[in-house]
Structure 1
Amino acid sequence: MQWDDLRIFLAVARDGSISGAAKRMNIQHSTVSRRIRLLETQLGTRLIERKKSGYELTAAGAELKMAAGKMEMEVLEVEGALGGQESHVAGELRVSAINNMASSVLMPIFASFTETYPDIELHVQVSNKYVSLAERHADIAIRLTNTPLDTLVGIRLTNVASAVYGERNYLKALRASSAKQKWLGVECCAFHQSWTNAACPDHRHSLFVDDTLLTLAALKQGLGLAYLPCFMGDNDDQLERFRAPDPIHDLGLWLLYHPDLRRTKRVRVFREHMVAQIGDQSALFEGRRPMHNLRLK
């Protein structure tokens, strides 16, 4: 057996599909299928079975998943022990980040990381949902939370402040009492949903959105008020703050990874890079960026 074949099998076992494993490992669907069949031939037994709901492990497949997972931990331990002795760092690093951050404020930081470490293959995966680092869906997760899982290790990079925003002309009319106060129905996350429910207790909304990028687009159309992270709202000239940031709404921006990866050099250098870069932009994340002609209510 080849370790690469076991890595492919682990990806299929964890994802539950060949297409998902192929996407995660950046290889062809046909290659994954062929390597799984070869592995089954070498072992003389079926490892996965196709069901209507996807692929399921056989009893032998479940045993191999456990054994291959232990081998993966050993490989990571060796990599961590030896990697620290070398100045050169290379390999693949998969980072799961939130959509609105990855496509905006984090992208320049990712770009500078790839320039500094050109031999690291940085794979940025966008997801606002739970990502299992134990199942190696990603090596690192960048998440907004005040309660990170205690099974993970990491570092709180900064606080992310939020405020209530609206389009400039809409707010001007609202303050002049010529427009009605209306709120967007925000369903992107539990945080923004609960804050909106508290601010608009009658729950009457003419438009609902389930992503902060959609919230931003709707606000720019003058469709009402909504909470946005300050790094988004303060960066758009069409928007103004309607209410100042309240510390009760602060969320921690965490860089998280599985304890097995704490000694992996790729993870260490990425963590150090993020700490330095985020520190330089802390005012933006914390809502302390100087604003011009800001009228708060």
Structure 2
Amino acid sequence: MDRRELADFLRGRRERITPADVGLPAGPRRRTPGLRREEVAQLAYISTEYYTRLEQARGPHPSREVLAQLARALRLSDAERDHLHHLAGTPPAPPSGPSREVRQSIVDLLHRLPRAAAIVISATYEVLAWNDLAAALMEDFSALSRRDRNLVRRAFLGPHPHGRRLYGVSDGQEFAHSSVQHLRAASARYPDDPELAGLVAELQAGSEEFARLWAAHDVTARPTLCKTFDHPLVGPVAVNCDVLDITDRDQRVVIYTAVPGSPSEEALRLLSVVGTQRLDVPG
């Protein structure tokens, strides 16, 4: 534990936060920049004396719980939170499960790609964010429950309208195999996540194919560079498939684009206009 560095770090982060940032009144006689020590202590649910001793480099070794409360009170970023833990001599505990929170900058990025269908998926293949064209090409994810937005569950357990697996993609079989391999690796990273364990158990019980692939213990998946969606309205849509890793959240951005000037690009342009309307349904 580096008491002096920890004290300086806490003081610096306290002084950069305004009372308005945390919903506190500024008051007429505020002399110190940022928050007062007693205000941080109140927000972190610890005593003012204890927090003061930490800032004076004479405090005891804080527990993980205290560090987590201080990180929330001081509005620390993920990197700052980890740094706080290291200064205190207590490395941050690994997350119990994959993150489901998508950074706003990533969400904004999806919507700045009007000619590409783009989604964000978690380590367990849950669709966390999407743009309008992705909803038109694949499915209106906003109309689905969180459970039904999991692509692995969809691939193995359905529904499969008109016998089409996972939106009629040309690499449905390959996707199924690679998703099991990714899920196997995720299980090793998050061995204590009950939700992930429940998903695997459900798939093993409901799909003999999944159970067989899971038993193979494969963890190396080949990247998919292109695929074709069999869309019920515009027909086949051939797209390039690019994947960007968001390593700090263990998420992936999947971007589908068509070759410029191709019939598939025209199909995507039509879908961007039509959206999720079902013009193939009479009435």
- Answer 1 or 2: higher relative contact order, Cα 8 Å, separation at least 6: 1
TM-score if structure 2 supplies the norm length?
0.29
TM-score w.r.t. length of structure 1: 0.28
The structure that is strand-richer by fraction is: 1
